[in-house]
């Protein structure tokens, strides 16, 4: 561990001016640009899933109707939790950019915790729907609902794994001010997942759903 | 160079109690190829694998033609026939044309923009292995006697578990999913490469048209692949987990599949054809000894095709029962996508006009593309006329149309590219005599096979029928087309012989001297074959066709006069101080894991376990793999964002060591 | 003469390549699925639109192809010197010109396309006087077309389709006439088609009368046909629908108004009770075996009602056999029911009853298609004897005109 820190400590002098956004034509580092491009692709992934949901939301004659089963206050709270995690993500990045490793770590963990709360809420929601008779195979609506929110849930979970990895490497001492871009890139992903949720939340819960 | 690597590995190992990873140090032979991250080797691998699948797809095509040679054919049964035509389509689209484009793109794109590699060499290697894994997975279905049989566009609900109870469509969905990840990762990689790593002075509008077309294609893939990903997931969930996306009995609408498929599928058509347009745009100017006519128009028409390609998908569904207003709208958008395509054709002709045309094999193929694609484009206009399409669609007229586009447009273009860049890649030319045999046999056989299909279609022959009765007027032209198919096969055989004989002839001889064709773009600055580090020095670019302008200039009368010989302009390839990314074991490991997960979904979920473990090990080791260069930016810290999302997630953690070539490029100057 | 003209139109695109084979193409036999031989107003409208488009495409092709050949010939390098030709990088005016010219051509084509589209998408309110069970009825001709693996069902509702719920394709409301594989229509009338499917997507296509339209399960698609003259018009399923896609064929038989009335009168009769001993035995076998899937009005379905339980098949339906002998093909329109001389095509019918999957590929074990029934030869004879009592045979003219294979 300590050796690693020494290794790291030996490097910034060179790393500072030698990598990052200086070598590229766009001024955006390769890694960050890759994330942007990837997120562009993700837009279409969720676009496809949201379309599949919209087409199927009124096809529920074999099971419960969306309007009868959604618990909008509950989901609003968990959505709020997820949105707050974007704020903590910003705080984590700005802490690291200031060189404040301790606060960076705290905010990374907070972000991961808020994300986990959201996932917990989703698990609770899914199980209560199951109890009310809305299974994955119940109707086209249920398949589309679980698939769309499930894909989003997987994305959040992946984000949590990324955040935890960052936190671990922070404890190991390998996450320092000079590689704050790594946190920035994970942050891009995290914000994207949150923004997508705003769309999904609107489409599924806020747009009045058909009732039976 | 290798000593410090070992040092660093031990240094990193102390920080990584979970294991020590070192990077392969060559070793020669097959190991070089399996662990390579060199874009050139990966390009050759793509090409080799694509030609292997081309053999399989071609064999399937010959069986199809034998079955249809006579009415009431009995060469294969209905069941086998349906598998053959489905796999022929899937193979040719996803495992031949797309990877051939990837082969050219991988090999040439970094060279054409004056870079030493792509932005993420390990991801690049993973893309190739994933594509190969997907392709082998798909074709494995033959071995279990259960190949996909729902057509390459797999219309629901015929592909649902009720109507397709075997595993064929699962092989289709999972195989394409894996190959799709490969295309998506590759697209992201090449986009970053082009945007970030061009040589100094090379503005976007000094890029060769081939690079431009590849860039457009990568954007099409970037946005189209996720749509087919969604469609394939929904199909898989329907088939394996009882979801109801395409099940009309539960009230779902099967047209959802068609929309999703064609929103992907139509941009995909341009994914197939634009690389070939790029190749033709390099070959025709070189052998006409004139610059490309209307470079800006060529670029903008390519971009326009890329954009408009998104707004025409429902023209595949004119008879599906979508409303007349949709049909009208998609009729119009489809009509006008012909405009930028027409502009390209006319610009190629204008390039040849007033030139001094050298009819090499490469040029023959390129001009073949111009006229054969024109036929495909024009028949395309005839079914953009939606009322006429109600007669033409799903007949052999359509089969003729898309073969003129994909074979006559895309494949002939790739053959043109083979002849053009063979000396660059392998250090010797392909023989011209066999090359001309190759061209004439292919073009004659091609027109014999697919030309009559226009007539068959208008005579009312439905596509995808495994047999037909006598008396409908189908007999003669079907037999004729079958003969044509074998003429094509002889043409392909000529190519194979040419490859072997040329290599044998070149054995022991010095490599082809630089610039065999008096060419125009950056890749020809390097000697033949391209050295592993590409450029001794990164070229400063000041104009389009930089290489040509270094050799030639115009005097005060406007005559072209030599400024320098190619030998003077070309680099020698003997620089020995160039840092290159080290090979890696892990891309191939990650790629090997996914088909195992696929088999698990099909046969026994327990098989998923080793597959998932393999992927996780691969990703983990990838992330914590030491950077090869102790002087590179931040040692072991690059693995921090490691996480376990297969396929998508590991994209961004690709290490900063991989931008080393770029930095090195800067430091060499 | 007409054939030669048609050939030129057909080959408009690859004309130059295939010109040498013109004579051979002229020999093509009576192509019953020919798309360029319209026999009704809608097919003719389409043909009138596509003809000039083929011509334009042919001309453009000849210009490009000839242009390429000309460039090869005119500008090939004779290698006499290393001189470069004049270096021209482009010409803005030319570029604009050849952007605008194709645009203008396409605008013109688009205008005619849209006009035609409006034309073939509209319906007229035609109606014909018909007597149904002796009641005079004004029938606005419409036929419900239902695809399933691998045959077509045609349902006639003479009371009109208003209030007829077609949303559950597996349990469609009882129809006045239910027939299979041969759609009988009055000539000179616009027939509205309501097309749907009981299993996968099929496509209904009678090239001489109109283009095709998909049969999508869960959806009703709209189309129309109209035949100028009485006659027989061939069709073929054109959307891949599984194993026997190529063996899913159909015909449209257009009759004069009087003949159509006669056909309707005939079809409305229930099956007659057999008297012959073999036929009686055959009927018993039908009730024991065939009735699991097939319906004969008056035997296992009352005259005006199909059983609501549906058949023991994935698609829930097998052809209604009440007037089998009034049709001239069977098994998805691929076998002749009659010899050209009007005799029953006994060998083929017996082969079908003996082992249907051997005659036409099907997933019989997956309840898709007719299974092998394991009947003895005597039982087969009895069943054939019974089937022969079902309906009256059509005229020799129709038998000959509908001959397949």
Confidence of residue C299 (pLDDT cuts 50, 70, 90): confident
CA B145 to centroid of chain Cα atoms = 28
Q: Which residues of B touch A28 (CB under 8 A)?
A: 196
pLDDT attached to residue A100: 93
CA distance A182 to chain B (A): 7
Chain B residue whose CA is closest to A148: B230
Residue B248 has pLDDT above 70, yes or no: yes
Is residue A41 included in any domain, yes or no?
yes
**Where would I find the beta strands (DSSP E) of C65-168?**
128-132, 135-139, 142-148, 151-156
| Residue C127 reports pLDDT greater than 80 | yes
Distance CA B473, CA C22 (A): 14
Query: How far apart are alpha carbons C41 and C43 in whole angstroms?
Result: 6
Contacts with B356 from chain C: Cβ below 8 Å: 75-77, 83-85
Q: Using the beta-carbon criterion (under 8 Å), do B634 and A140 form an inter-chain contact?
A: no
**Where does the pLDDT of residue C95 fall: very low under 50, low under 70, confident under 90, or very high at 90 and above?**
very high
Which token pair is B391? 């007669």
Q: Give yes or no for a contact between A105 and A164, defined as CB atoms under 8 angstroms apart.
A: no
**Residue C211: which pLDDT band, with cuts at 50, 70 and 90?**
very high
Q: Residue B1 has what pLDDT?
A: 33
* pLDDT average, residue stretch C208-228: 95
How would residue B5 be classed by pLDDT, with cut points 50, 70 and 90? Answer: very low
- pLDDT of A104 > 50? The answer is yes
Lowest mean pLDDT, pick from B51-65, B146-160, B640-654? B640-654
Give the pLDDT of residue C3: 52
Q: Which of C27, C89, C121 sits opposite B324 (nearest CB)?
A: C121
What global pTM score does this model have?
A: 0.91
What is the 3-state composition of chain A as percent helix, strand, coil, each rounded to the nearest 5?
80, 0, 20
Which residue out of C70, C118, C246, C405 would a mutagenesis test of the B interface target, given it has the greatest number of B Cβ atoms within 10 Å?
Answer: C246
Lowest pLDDT segment from B86-95, C80-89, C327-336: C80-89
**Predicted confidence (pLDDT) per residue in A7-57, tens digit:** 233 333 323 333 334 478 888 999 999 999 999 999 999 999 999 999 999
For C358-368, what is the mean pLDDT?
91
Q: How far is B306 from B193, CA to CA, in rounded Å?
A: 19
Give the closest-approach CA distance of B464 to chain A in angstroms.
29
The predicted complex's ipTM stands at 0.92
B651 vs B114, higher pLDDT: B114
Q: Does the residue A10 lie in any domain?
A: no
The answer as to whether A104 is a domain residue is yes
Decide if B196 and A19 are in contact by the 8 Å CB cutoff: no
> Which residues in B lie closer than 8 A to residue C44 (C-beta atoms)?
none
Q: How confident is the model at residue C20, as a pLDDT?
A: 41
Residue range(s) in chain C whose domain bears CATH number 2.60.40.420: 128-401
Q: What is the rounded CA–CA span in Å between residue B480 and residue B476?
A: 6
Per-residue pLDDT, averaged over C253-278, amounts to 94
The per-residue pLDDT for A209 is 85
In this structure, which topology does domain C128-401 adopt according to CATH? Answer: Immunoglobulin-like (2.60.40)
Q: Could you give the angle at which helices C277-288 and C377-387 cross, rounded to 10 degrees? A: 100
Contact B451 C14 (CB under 8 A): yes
Judged against a pLDDT cut of 90, whether residue B441 lies above it is answered with yes
Are C90 and B297 spatial neighbours (Cβ–Cβ below 8 Å)?
yes
**d(C-alpha B376, C-alpha B367), whole Å:** 14
C158 pLDDT more than 90: yes
**Nearest chain B CA: its distance from A189 CA (Å):** 10
A8 in any annotated domain: no
CB A89 within 8 A of CB A187: yes
Q: Of B623 and A145, which is predicted with more confidence?
A: A145
Are B256 and B313 in contact by the 8 Å Cβ rule? The answer is no
Instruction: Give chain B positions within 8 Å (CB) of A8.
Output: 634-635, 637
More confident call, C300 vs B161: B161
| Cβ contacts of A147 on chain B, cutoff 8 Å | 233-234, 237, 243, 245
Euclidean distance between CA atoms A194 and A115, whole angstroms: 10
CATH of the domain at A130: 1.20.120.80
Q: Residue B574 — very low, low, confident or very high, per pLDDT cuts 50/70/90?
A: confident
pLDDT digits (tens, 9 = 90+) for B506-549: 999 999 998 999 999 999 999 999 999 999 999 999 999 999 99
Mean pLDDT of C273-293: 93
- Whether residue B278 contacts residue B212, with contact meaning beta carbons closer than 8 Å, is answered with yes
Query: Are B349 and C67 a contacting pair at CB < 8 A?
Result: yes
Domains along chain B with CATH numbers: 36-515+574-578 (1.20.210.10)
For residue B663, what pLDDT is reported? 33
Q: Which of B148-157, C170-179, C256-265, C299-308 comes out lowest in average pLDDT?
A: C299-308
Count of domains for chain A: 1
How far is residue B399's CA from residue B286's CA, in Å, rounded to a whole number?
33
Per-residue pLDDT, C405: 78
- Enter the tokens of residue A143: 């398949």
Q: Is B204 on the interface with A (CB under 8 A)?
A: no
Domain that holds residue A196: 25-206
* Selection from C151, C325, C160 nearest residue C245 by Cα: C151
pLDDT in tens, C3-12: 544 555 555 5
**Chains touching chain A, criterion 3+ CB pairs below 8 Å:** B
Inside any domain, residue A17: no
Q: Is B11 on the interface with A (CB under 8 A)?
A: yes
Residue C268 has pLDDT above 70, yes or no: yes
Q: How far apart are CA B246 and CA B236, in angstroms?
A: 11
**B touches which chains (3+ CB pairs under 8 A)?**
A, C
Q: Name the token pair of B353.
A: 């006009």
């Amino acid at each position: 561990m300590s050796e690693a820190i020494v290794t790291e400590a030996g490097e910034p002098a060179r790393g500072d001016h030698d990598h990052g956004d200086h070598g590229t034509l766009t001024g955006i580092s390769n890694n960050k640009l890759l994330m942007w491009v990837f997120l562009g692709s993700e837009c279409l992934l969720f676009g496809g899933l949201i379309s599949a949901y919209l087409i199927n939301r009124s096809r529920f004659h074999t099971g419960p109707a969306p309007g009868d089963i959604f618990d909008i206050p509950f989901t609003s709270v968990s959505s709020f939790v997820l949105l707050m995690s974007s704020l903590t993500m910003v705080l984590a990045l700005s802490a690291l950019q200031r060189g404040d490793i301790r606060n960076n770590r705290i905010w990374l963990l907070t972000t991961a915790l808020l994300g986990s709360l959201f996932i917990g809420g989703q698990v609770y929601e899914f199980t209560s729907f199951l109890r009310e008779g809305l299974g994955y195979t119940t109707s086209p609506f249920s398949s589309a609902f679980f698939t769309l929110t499930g894909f989003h849930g997987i994305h959040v979970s992946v984000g949590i794994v990324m955040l935890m990895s960052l936190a671990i490497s922070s404890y190991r001492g390998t996450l320092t001010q000079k590689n704050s871009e790594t946190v920035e890139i994970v942050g891009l992903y995290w914000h994207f997942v949150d923004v997508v949720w705003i769309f999904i939340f609107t489409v599924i819960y806020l747009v009045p759903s058909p009732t039976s | 160079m290798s000593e410090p690597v070992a040092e660093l590995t031990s240094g990193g190992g102390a920080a990584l109690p979970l294991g020590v990873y070192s990077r392969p140090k060559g070793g020669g032979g097959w190991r070089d190829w399996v662990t390579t991250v060199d874009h050139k080797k990966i390009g050759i691998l793509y090409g080799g694998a694509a030609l292997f699948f081309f053999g399989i797809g071609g064999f399937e095509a010959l069986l199809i033609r034998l079955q249809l040679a006579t009415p009431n054919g009995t060469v294969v049964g209905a069941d086998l026939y349906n598998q053959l035509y489905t796999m022929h389509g899937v193979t040719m689209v996803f495992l031949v044309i797309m990877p051939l484009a990837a082969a050219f793109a991988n090999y040439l794109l970094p060279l054409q923009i004056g870079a030493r590699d792509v932005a993420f060499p390990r991801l690049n290697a993973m893309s190739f292995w994933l594509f190969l894994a997907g392709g082998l997975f798909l074709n494995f279905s033959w071995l279990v006697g259960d190949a996909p049989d729902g057509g390459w566009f797999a219309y629901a609900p015929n592909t649902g578990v009720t109507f397709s109870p075997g595993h064929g469509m699962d092989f289709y969905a999972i195989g394409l999913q894996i190959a799709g990840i490969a295309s998506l990762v590759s697209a992201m990689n090449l986009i970053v490469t082009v945007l970030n790593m061009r040589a100094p002075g090379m503005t976007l509008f000094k890029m060769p048209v081939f690079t431009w077309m590849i860039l457009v294609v990568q954007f099409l893939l970037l946005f189209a692949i996720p749509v087919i990903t969604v469609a394939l997931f929904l199909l898989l969930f329907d088939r394996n987990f009882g979801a109801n996306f395409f099940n009309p009995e539960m009230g779902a609408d099967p047209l959802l599949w068609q929309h999703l498929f064609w929103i992907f599928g139509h941009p995909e058509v341009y994914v197939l054809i634009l690389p070939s347009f790029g190749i033709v745009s390099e070959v025709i100017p070189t052998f006409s000894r004139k610059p490309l006519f209307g470079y800006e128009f060529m670029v903008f028409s390519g971009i326009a095709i890329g954009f408009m390609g998104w707004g025409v998908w429902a023209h595949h569904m004119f008879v599906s029962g979508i409303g007349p207003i949709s049909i009208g709208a998609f009729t119009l958008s489809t009509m006008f996508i012909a405009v930028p395509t027409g502009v390209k054709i006319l610009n190629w002709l204008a390039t040849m006009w007033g030139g001094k045309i050298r009819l090499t094999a490469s040029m023959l193929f390129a001009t073949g593309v111009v006229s054969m694609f024109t036929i495909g484009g024009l028949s395309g206009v005839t079914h953009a006329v939606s009322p006429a399409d109600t007669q033409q669609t799903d007949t052999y007229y359509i089969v003729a149309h898309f073969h003129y586009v994909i074979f006559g447009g895309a494949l002939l273009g790739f053959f043109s590219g083979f002849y053009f860049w063979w000396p660059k890649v392998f250090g010797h030319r392909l023989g011209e005599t066999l090359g001309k045999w190759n061209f004439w046999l292919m073009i004659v056989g091609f027109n014999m096979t697919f030309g009559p299909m226009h007539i068959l279609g208008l005579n009312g022959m439905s596509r995808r029928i495994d047999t037909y009765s006598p008396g409908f007027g189908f007999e003669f032209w079907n037999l004729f087309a079958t003969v044509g198919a074998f003429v094509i096969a002889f043409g392909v055989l000529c190519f194979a012989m040419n490859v072997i004989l040329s290599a044998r002839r070149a054995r022991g001889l010095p490599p082809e001297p630089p610039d065999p064709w008096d060419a125009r773009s950056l890749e020809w600055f390097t000697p033949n074959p391209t050295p592993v580090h590409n450029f001794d020095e990164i070229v400063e670019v000041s104009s389009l066709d930089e290489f040509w302008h270094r050799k030639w200039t115009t005097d005060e009368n406007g005559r072209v006069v030599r400024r320098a010989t190619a030998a003077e302009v070309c680099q020698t390839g003997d620089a020995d101080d160039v840092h290159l990314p080290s090979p890696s074991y892990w891309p191939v490991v990650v790629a090997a894991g996914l088909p195992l997960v696929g088999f698990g979904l099909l046969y026994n979920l327990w098989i998923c376990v080793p597959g998932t473990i393999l992927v996780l090990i691969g990703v983990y080791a990838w992330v914590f793999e030491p950077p090869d260069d102790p002087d590179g930016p931040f040692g072991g810290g690059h693995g921090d964002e490691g996480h376990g999302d297969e396929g998508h997630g590991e994209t961004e953690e690709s290490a900063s060591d991989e931008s080393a070539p770029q930095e090195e490029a800067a430091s060499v100057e | 003469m007409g054939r030669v003209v048609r050939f030129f139109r057909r080959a408009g695109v690859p004309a130059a390549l295939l010109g040498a084979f013109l004579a051979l193409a002229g020999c093509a036999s009576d192509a019953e699925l020919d798309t360029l031989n319209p026999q009704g107003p809608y097919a003719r409208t389409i043909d009138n639109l596509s003809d000039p488009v083929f011509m334009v495409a042919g001309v453009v092709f000849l210009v490009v192809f000839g242009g390429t050949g000309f460039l090869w010939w005119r500008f090939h390098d004779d290698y006499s010197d290393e001189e470069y030709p004049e270096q021209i990088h482009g010409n803005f005016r030319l570029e604009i010109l050849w952007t605008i010219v194709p645009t203008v051509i396409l605008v013109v084509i688009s205008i005619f396309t849209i006009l035609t589209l409006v034309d073939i998408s509209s319906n007229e309110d035609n109606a014909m006087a018909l007597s149904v069970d002796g009641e005079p009825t004004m029938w606005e001709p419409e036929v419900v077309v239902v695809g399933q693996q691998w045959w077509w069902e045609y349902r006639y509702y003479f009371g009109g389709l208003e209030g007829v719920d077609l949303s559950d394709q597996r349990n469609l409301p009882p129809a006045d006439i239910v027939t299979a594989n041969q759609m009988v229509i009055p000539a000179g009338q616009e027939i509205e088609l309501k097309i749907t499917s009981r299993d996968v997507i099929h496509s209904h296509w009678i090239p001489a009368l109109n283009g095709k339209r998909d049969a999508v399960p869960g959806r009703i698609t709209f189309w129309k046909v109209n035949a100028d003259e009485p006659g027989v018009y061939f069709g073929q399923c054109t959307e891949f629908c599984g194993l026997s896609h190529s063996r899913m064929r159909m015909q449209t038989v257009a009759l004069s108004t009087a003949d159509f009335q006669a056909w309707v009168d005939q079809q409305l009769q229930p099956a007659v009770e057999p008297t012959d001993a073999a036929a009686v035995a055959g009927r018993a076998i039908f009730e024991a075996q065939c009735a699991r899937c097939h319906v004969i009005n008056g035997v296992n379905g009352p005259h005006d009602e199909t059983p609501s339980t549906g058949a023991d098949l994935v698609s829930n339906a097998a052809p209604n056999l009440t007037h089998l002998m009034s049709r001239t093909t069977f098994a998805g329109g691929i076998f002749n029911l009659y010899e050209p001389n009007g005799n029953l095509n006994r060998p083929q019918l017996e082969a079908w009853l003996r082992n249907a999957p051997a005659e036409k590929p099907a997933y019989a074990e997956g309840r898709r298609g007719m299974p092998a029934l394991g009947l003895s030869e005597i039982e087969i004879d009895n069943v054939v004897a019974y089937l022969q009592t079902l309906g009256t045979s059509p005229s020799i003219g129709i038998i000959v005109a509908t001959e397949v294979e």
